[in-house]
Amino acid sequence: MSSLQPVRGTVDLLPEDARKHRTIEALFARLVERYGFGEIATPIFEFTEVFSRTLGETSDIVTKEMYTFTSGDESLTLRPEGTAGVARAFITHGLHHALPLKVSYRGPMFRHERPQKGRLRQFHQVGVELLGVDSPLADAEVITLAAHFLDELGVTDTVTLELNSLGDAESRAAYRAALVDHLAGRGNGLSDDSRRRLAGNPLRILDSKDEGDRAIVATAPLLTDFLNAPSRAFLDRLCTLLAAAGLSPVLNPRLVRGLDYYCHTAFEFTTTALGAQGTVLAGGRYDGLIQQMGGPATPGIGWAAGVERLALLHEDRTALPRPVVLVPLGEAAESAGFALAQDLRKAGLHVEMGYAGTLSRRLKRAHKMNACAAVIVGENELAQGKAVVRDLDDGTQTDISFFDLAGQMIRLYRDKQ
């Protein structure tokens, strides 16, 4: 029955996957705090306008990928990305009085695109935004944070930092004219999507994944050759700062971000390990965004990383704690064992119950969950006020009185982790 399958492009995170996601998000949460970012949690749906006006009416996301629905007479959209919602909240709450503002977010995003490995319709991002600083110091800080995050995840060896400058408005206008010149002559070879972009947003053609487009783009003029002096100085300063932090980005003059509101810095951390889904973390500067939404002119820079793509690269080396397993034999022992399990959990131990079945089956299950010890309480033991503690590594068994049990188990548990 198809209705018992998750919707195409969505997945259930079973405990092992969910744990990996949580490890990545917890690491992110700890790290961004060190850089002074506080968490912001905006709703997962907004008025459609919040996205259509900020991402640009011609962007892929707005034209093809949004989950939009009407509720009453309102058009609402499940958020496809995090920045627009943060910008909306920034204006809603008048946060320009508290600049610079540094926030982080995490959670599900929704885009209707063709599902593949590392490309889903509901996926998860973690991201940061730094608002109110127009100096390259902000760019350097968020990029360095991104590199630090990937380093802590142990994926640095598999990723490359690519950097480009989209320049200021003047530089982009000059480049745009040259690009349109180049592309217009080759218009017939472009994909339908790109022909449409030619008038509205030609820069985005540089980002096309279509083979034919890529060939045409390969010979196009380079944005970097059109940067005016202030734009070039901005990029140079950023590179100097990144070098001071030990980062040496690969300059990629063809790197553009898919969204309309970017200027100056654009960057991506890419990998060759995930096929076409090569970008694990991407971001850039969006000085025009807040004003375009109707707020006061406020510079900003940020990035977002796809948690699913990070999870594909990250090897979870955090070991699960080795539990103690309580094995009560008989009803009376069950009450005593149950109470003991509770005491041990309150003392911080990871305790599992050996619920039912023969003693050997319960011990087998305990081994399977990598338990360090089993506490076996039968009728005889109960009558004598003791339990049998079996060391599951060497099989030795010791009788321990109830009186000493909690203390002894806490010690044993700590030794075995």
Nearer to ligand ATP, 162 or 287 (CB): 162
Give the nearest distance from C-beta 91 to ligand ATP in angstroms: 21
Give the nearest distance from C-beta 170 to ligand ATP in angstroms: 25
Helix (H, G, I), strand (E, B) or coil at 163: strand
Burial environment of residue 388 by CB neighbours within 10 A (0 to 12, 13 to 18, 19 or more) = middle
Cα–Cα distance measured from residue 8 to residue 74, given in angstroms and rounded to the nearest whole number: 26
Instruction: Assess 52 for contact with ligand ATP (CB under 6 A).
Output: no
| Stretch 258-277: interaction string toward ligand ATP, x if CB under 6 A | x------------------x
Instruction: Assess 362 for contact with ligand ATP (CB under 6 A).
Output: no
Instruction: Assess 304 for contact with ligand ATP (CB under 6 A).
Output: yes
The token pair at 307 is: 């948690």
How many residues line the site for ligand ATP (CB under 6 A)?
A: 19
Q: Taking Cα atoms as reference points, which of 25, 16, 17 lies closest to residue 304?
A: 25
8 A C-beta contact, residue 249 and residue 239: yes
Residue 297 makes CB contacts below 8 A (sequence gap 6+) with 287, 290, 291
The token pair at 220 is: 């196009």
Give the nearest distance from C-beta 83 to ligand ATP in angstroms: 9
Cα–Cα distance measured from residue 377 to residue 387, given in angstroms and rounded to the nearest whole number: 5
Instruction: Assess 224 for contact with ligand ATP (CB under 6 A).
Output: no
Which single residue brings its beta carbon nearest to ligand ATP?
306
∠ CA 335-338-341 to the nearest 5 degrees? 150
Could you say which of 285, 309, 314, 390 contacts ligand ATP (CB under 6 A)?
309
| Stretch 56-95: interaction string toward ligand ATP, x if CB under 6 A | -------------------------x--------------
Could you say which of 20, 79, 102, 119 contacts ligand ATP (CB under 6 A)?
119
Q: Taking Cα atoms as reference points, which of 378, 372, 369 lies closest to residue 409?
A: 372
Q: Which amino acid is at 79?
A: R
Cα–Cα distance measured from residue 104 to residue 37, given in angstroms and rounded to the nearest whole number: 6
Helix (H, G, I), strand (E, B) or coil at 286: coil
Footprint of ligand ATP on 121-150 (CB under 6 A): 123, 125
| Stretch 282-301: interaction string toward ligand ATP, x if CB under 6 A | x-------------------
Instruction: Assess 280 for contact with ligand ATP (CB under 6 A).
Output: yes
Interface positions with ligand ATP (CB under 6 A): 81, 111, 113, 118-120, 123, 125, 258, 277, 279-282, 304-306, 308-309
